[in-house]
Structure 1
Amino acid sequence: MKALVEHIAQSLVDDPESVKVEEHQEDQTVYLRLTVHPDDMGKVIGKNGRTAKALRSVVYAAVNKQGKKVKLDIVE
């Protein structure tokens, strides 16, 4: 899951080296924390949050097949 989020985020931003994804799991929930350069926040979030919503949808679909839940946070 971490690699999927990292790959998508790196494709969106101008500074792919600054993309970091932290992952940890508690029970049946996977927690992902996506960190990007402050200048790239707009690219990851998108207009009205559309890009972030699409990213979350892809991640939810991938995790749902495993019978788990996911929480994705996007931070600077």
Structure 2
Amino acid sequence: MQEVDFLHYVVQNIVEHPESIEIEKKVDELGTLLTLQVHPDDMGIIIGKKGSTVNALRSIIRLQGMKLGQKITLKVLEHE
């Protein structure tokens, strides 16, 4: 759960609607998948210019996974 708490902490500090953050964690034989959902107005912030913000988030999450001995992948979805 450490990686979920970390991701939530980072994301809540950069979005306009932190109350809309949802993070789902799924673990299988390939590793851990974190699915992040944010408010539609926050998608641009999360993705960033040319994907720079989401790529940085993925890199940080991947590094945290390496520290924990896991493969962690981040997927971002818009709330429906």
Name 1:61's counterpart in structure 2.
63
Runs (5+) with no aligned partner, structure 2: none
CA contact (8 A) 1:28 1:68 kept: no
**Aligned residue among 70, 73, 77 for 1:71:** 73
The CA distance in 1 between the partners of 2:26 and 2:55, in whole Å, is 21
- One-letter identity of the residue aligned with 2:55: K
Query: 23-32 or 47-56, which moves further after superposition?
Result: 23-32
TM-score (norm 2): 0.89
Deviation string 1:15-54 (CA, Å, 9 cap, x unpaired) is 0000110001113501100000001000001000000011
TM-score (norm 1): 0.94
Name 1:22's counterpart in structure 2.
24
Q: How many residues align?
A: 76
SS in 2 for 1:22: strand
Are residue 2 (structure 1) and residue 9 (structure 2) matched? no
Runs of 4+ in structure 1 off by over 3 angstroms are: none
Instruction: Among all aligned residue pairs of Structure 1 and Structure 2, give the percentage whose two residues are the same amino acid.
Output: 38
SS in 2 for 1:59: helix
The CA distance in 1 between the partners of 2:14 and 2:39, in whole Å, is 12
